[in-house]
Amino acid sequence: MAVATVKATFDVYRFEPGKDATPRYDRYVLDLPPHTPVLTALLKIRAEVDPSLSLRYSCRSAICGSCAMQINSKSRLACQAPIGPELARDGRIVIEPMRNQPVLRDLVVDQDGFWQNYRKVEPHLILDPRLPMPEGRENPMTPEEVDRFKETPRCIACAACYSACPAVEADPAFPGPMALAKLYRFVVDPRDRGQQDRLVRIQTEGLWLCLRCHLCTEACPKDVRPSERIRDLKELAIAAQGATEYGSRHAVAFKENIRARGVLNEMKLARQTMGTLGMVGQIPQGIRMWRKKPEFLRAPHAIEGEGEVEKIYEALDDHKTPEDLP
Amino acid sequence: MLKHEVVVVGAGLAGQRAALAAVEAGRDVAVFSKLHPLRSHSGAAQGGINAAVGKEDSVDTHIYDTVKGADYLGDQDAIEFFCQDAGPTVVEMEHFGTIFNRAADGSLARRPFGGAGFPRTIYAADRTGLALLQALWERLGTEEFTLYEEWDLTSLIVREGAVQGIVAFDRRKGDFAAVAAKAVVMATGPFGRVYGRTTNAHSCTGDGVAAAYAAGATLKDMEFVQFHPTALVESGILITEGARGEGGILKNALGERFMAKYAPHVLDLASRDVVSRSIVTEVLEGRGYPGGYVHLELMHLGKEKIESRLQEICDVARNFAGIDPVTQPIPIFPAQHYMMGGISTDIHGATSVRGLFAAGEAACVSIHGANRLGGNSLLETLVFGKQAGIAAASYATSAATPSLKEGDLDAATAPLRAWSSRTDGEDPATLRTEMQRVMDRYVGIYRNEADLLEGVRQIREVKKRFARIRVADQSKIYNVNLSDALEVGHMLQLAEVIVVGAYARTESRGAHARIDYPQRDDAHWMKHTLASKGPDGPQLSYSPVAYTRWEPKERVY
């Protein structure tokens, strides 16, 4: 059975730090069926054209997490990305190493930082000797308790989310989407005895640095939805400790602020987030803002249909997450 | 020079479990792995792990099913030990944090699997291997040991019959290093990549098995190669047996549920060798789809069940075959899946070389005999990984200081360094493709004397060509070309042992199906094949199978 092929152009990032002055892009053109995964194409290039192309790969079935890379500027698993749609959209396929991790060579990146961030969230069950595991039998766990893990057990640590994350790029204190999704997995585990400590600690160790851009969820090849689990962690952290950080105070203040008038009172928001003392440090900024936009100091008028806002809040309070809303 | 008391090679479930046991015994442990541990092929195991923990089930039934599944070639004393340890092993993994599926009463959920008398397979959706790998890595991560991540094993150093250490290659730096060790545990997993059509990952190249063989260790039952019945036609990617456990059925191009002919009692859930041969027979007799395959149907299970219990399979079928299993049948054909053979060990992982231990798919205890049951391999990695770790730690406690000499590293790596200095010669990928073609063509599901002879001849031809292999990539950093060459060299050794063993065994048993000898021949062949490296290839000898309570019977499903 003959399968129609397409002419596929690959521009592949090549770089060996210390040896090459700058990265270059090598072009390879192959005839391939459109459903060919990018990984298969790269292995064909290695086998038939250039054996010096360096990349990580193993399972070729999206379960080992080795072959994440930038494919036409998106962080994806090469084994899971067929060439057809890429060619149809962009006309060629640009292959680059993942972002937010230093390049070792070509498509191989140094993942030490990624793994260090993963270890920061103490990714193991925290036990309490006063509450021992049941002798000789499993801990009982209901199917509903298993459902609380959501999709986090599917994570294959491919680092596609880490590569896609602007907060990782901006702030070394942010542990990254994968580490936080992993933290969520332990926080909801009924066998774990460290939930409270974990939630308190993460409030000051990066939880509120997430930018809520959801690029991690878009990049994740296993539908782990890290940004949604980060949101869950934020709610759980506030429930566990209250709003103690700029980030959590800001979130709570924002919510109450809107609830009050249906529109944001920025002065109040800043004061509730930073406290009156914290506001003192913001005076120079305030003066600059006042020059440009003096009306920001005035309390906003209530919006029309203010009562509707309260109804929305009541509906949200009854339901844990927006997904649960009818 | 690097130095550790216990060196574990391979960081899948068996290697990690061995490392944990050796660390707990107080030894200085190093783990060498060519992949980050969480990228190990153990994580690809889908269906589940067997343990007879249900009230209606019994350890004896698990033993019997395993003995029968093995076509009576498994050592029954080892199988008894194995099945008795199943319950505690699964409970331990639950305590380590594995997220298993649960029944309504909160106990571990179980699903039916091929060749098993009861629903005995405990599972985590259809990613049980990943669930176990995560939990064990998280548990091991709380202990002190040294991880050598992304190092290839090149050879094992044995002097006067005892292990002295290993030689390994640091992929990131591009350096070879000798590592002194009192005890070495080989847990490098399978070598399915000797075949082209395989469910195995690209990394499954048997480095530890080949290094052990080259250093004098005995291999066992290498001709027994399991072909998984249901792999995607084009890519060989696995569709778990759990798909049939959940009610999936096989149909030929005439729409017939053909397993009714071959296994009237258990139908699609017969043992893997039986189902694989049935599919091949259907296709050979003209009842397959054009191109040579059959269908696995899940549609009747309904969208909800398919998407909740077989989520990975949904993704696999959609991503890699463009098939939606909710509305379409999945085209499947058997592919190499599991190696029953490996480094010959006892139940403590001890091999024929002092200080060398092995566990998991790299080892042959033997509990799987001529055919492994689904759900038994994850269990094997943990049960015998632990035993090997305990035994290696115990051996290291009293073993003499290893004697590595100055010249050991040079001697071991001189031939490998020559690959890179050649200006002509063949690329590893060429020889790998050639080896895989030979194994697919001549050493597949149905075998016969003429094919196997041709297979031996051609594999030896490729081995000769390997002497002139060339590594063209001249870079030191992450030189995959050099790693490829190491792997092809290892696999060629093992391919030869498989085909020589298959040629010699003139009977059909379990996964070894000889068209010219279609019957099981207990009078002559109720014995293990042992292979050790001789000057002109493998030297075969045979050893008896251990029997306790189960007399061989005809195997009917």
What are the pLDDT digits (tens) for A223-251? 999 999 999 999 999 999 988 888 899 99
Phi, psi of B380, rounded to the nearest 5 degrees: -60, -45
Contact between residue B393 and residue A17 where contact means Cβ atoms under 8 Å apart: no
- Which pLDDT score is estimated for B88? 98
What are the pLDDT digits (tens) for B381-416? 999 999 999 999 999 999 999 999 889 999 999 999
What are the pLDDT digits (tens) for B193-240? 999 999 999 999 999 999 999 999 999 999 999 999 999 998 999 998
Picking from A57, A64, A108, the nearest residue to B478 by CB comes out as: A108
Q: Is residue A295 part of a domain?
A: yes
Which one, of B201, B202, B219, lies nearest residue B210 by Cα?
A: B219
Contact between residue B412 and residue B432 where contact means Cβ atoms under 8 Å apart: no
Name the pLDDT band for A326 (thresholds 50, 70, 90): very low
What are the pLDDT digits (tens) for A141-196? 999 999 999 999 999 999 999 999 999 999 999 999 999 999 999 999 999 999 99
CATH of the domain at A203: 1.10.1060.10
Between CA B373 and CA B124 the distance in angstroms is 18
Give chain B positions within 8 Å (CB) of A113.
Answer: none
Give chain A positions within 8 Å (CB) of B35.
Answer: 58, 64, 66
CA–CA–CA angle B506, B509, B513 (5° rounding) = 70
Q: Are residues A101 and A121 in the same domain?
A: no
Q: Are residues A152 and A200 in the same domain?
A: yes
Mean pLDDT of A207-231: 97
B427 with A51: Cβ contact below 8 A: yes
Q: Are residues A302 and A224 in the same domain?
A: no
- Which pLDDT score is estimated for B463? 97
Between CA A180 and CA A206 the distance in angstroms is 9
Q: Are residues A235 and A119 in the same domain?
A: yes
Q: Are residues A116 and A237 in the same domain?
A: yes
Can you state the angle between helices B86-96 and B376-398, rounded to 10 degrees?
Answer: 90
- Which pLDDT score is estimated for A320? 54
Taking the Cβ of residue A117 and every Cβ of chain B, the question of whether any pair is shorter than 8 Å is answered with no
Strands of the sheet with B219-220, listed across from one edge: B363-364, B342-344, B219-220, B527-534, B537-544
Which one, of B24, B341, B353, lies nearest residue B182 by Cα?
A: B353
Q: Is residue A1 part of a domain?
A: no
Q: Are residues A43 and A157 in the same domain?
A: no
Picking from A105, A138, A191, the nearest residue to B478 by CB comes out as: A105
Q: Which residue has the tokens 């934020």?
A: A234
- DSSP assignment of A243-287 equals S-SHHHHHHHHHHHHHHHHSS--HHHHHHHHHHHHHHHTTHHHHH
How many angstroms away from the CA of B139 is the closest CA of chain A?
Answer: 6
Between CA A160 and CA A146 the distance in angstroms is 25
Which of A16, A44, A54, A148 has the most B C-beta neighbours within 10 Å, making it the best mutation to test the interface with B?
A54
- Which pLDDT score is estimated for A226? 98
Give chain A positions within 8 Å (CB) of B473.
Answer: 51-52, 54
The whole domain housing A258 covers: 246-324
Residues 247-306 of A with CB under 8 A from B: none
Q: 10-residue block means of pLDDT along chain B (557 residues)?
A: 96 98 98 98 95 92 96 98 98 98 96 87 95 98 98 97 98 97 98 97 98 98 97 92 93 97 94 93 96 96 92 88 94 97 98 98 97 96 98 97 92 95 95 98 97 98 97 97 98 98 98 97 97 96 95 87
User: Which residue is closest to A52 within chain B, CA to CA?
Assistant: B473
Residues 25-54 of B with CB under 8 A from A: 35-36, 38-41, 43-44
A54 with B130: Cβ contact below 8 A: no
Element (H, E) at B444: none
Between CA B11 and CA B17 the distance in angstroms is 9
User: Which residue is closest to B237 within chain A, CA to CA?
Assistant: A61
CATH of the domain at A67: 3.10.20.30
pLDDT for A324 beyond 70 = no
Three-state secondary-structure class, residue B50: strand
Between CA B328 and CA B306 the distance in angstroms is 12
Residues 90-149 of B with CB under 8 A from A: 90-91, 94-97, 99-108, 124-125, 127, 130-131, 134, 138-139, 141-142
User: Which residue is closest to A186 within chain B, CA to CA?
Assistant: B97
Name the pLDDT band for A265 (thresholds 50, 70, 90): confident
Give chain A positions within 8 Å (CB) of B16.
Answer: none
Identify residue B529 by its one-letter amino acid code.
T
pLDDT for A325 beyond 80 = no
A139 with B95: Cβ contact below 8 A: yes
A51 with B142: Cβ contact below 8 A: no
Of the residues A204, A224, A241, the one at which a domain ends = A241
Q: Are residues A206 and A319 in the same domain?
A: no
Of the residues A241, A276, A307, the one at which a domain ends = A241
Picking from B106, B201, B315, the nearest residue to A141 by CB comes out as: B106
B39 with A138: Cβ contact below 8 A: no
How many angstroms away from the CA of B104 is the closest CA of chain A?
Answer: 6
Q: Are residues A100 and A117 in the same domain?
A: no
How many angstroms away from the CA of A51 is the closest CA of chain B?
Answer: 6
Residues 194-253 of B with CB under 8 A from A: 201-203, 235, 237-238
Across all residues in chain B, what is the average pLDDT? 96
Q: Are residues A250 and A223 in the same domain?
A: no
User: Model-level pTM?
Assistant: 0.95
pLDDT for A202 beyond 90 = yes
Task: Kindly state the DSSP code that residue A38 receives in the 8-state scheme.
Answer: H
Q: Are residues A227 and A253 in the same domain?
A: no
Which of A42, A53, A61, A118 has the most B C-beta neighbours within 10 Å, making it the best mutation to test the interface with B?
A61
Percent of residues, chain A, with pLDDT higher than 70: 97
- Which pLDDT score is estimated for A319? 64
Phi, psi of B482, rounded to the nearest 5 degrees: -70, -40
Q: Is residue A125 part of a domain?
A: yes
| SS3 letters across A171-208 | CCCCCCHHHHHHHHHHHCCCCCCCHHHHHHHHHHCCHH
Between CA B260 and CA A208 the distance in angstroms is 59
Task: For residue A57, give every residue at least 6 positions away whose Cβ sits within 8 Å of its Cβ, in sequence order, or none.
Answer: A39, A42, A43, A66, A67, A78, A79, B202
Q: Is residue A121 part of a domain?
A: yes
What are the pLDDT digits (tens) for B286-309? 999 999 999 999 999 999 999 988
Name the pLDDT band for A321 (thresholds 50, 70, 90): low
Q: Are residues A230 and A283 in the same domain?
A: no
- Which pLDDT score is estimated for B408? 93
Taking the Cβ of residue B549 and every Cβ of chain A, the question of whether any pair is shorter than 8 Å is answered with no
For chain A, the domain total comes to 3
- DSSP assignment of B186-197 equals E-----GGGSSS
pLDDT for A1 beyond 60 = no
- Which pLDDT score is estimated for B557? 83
* ipTM of the modeled complex: 0.95
Residues of B recognised as catalytic: 272
Q: Are residues A25 and A104 in the same domain?
A: yes
Q: Compute, in degrees rounded to 10, the torsion defined by CA atoms B27, B30, B33, B37.
A: 60
Residues 162-191 of A with CB under 8 A from B: 189, 191
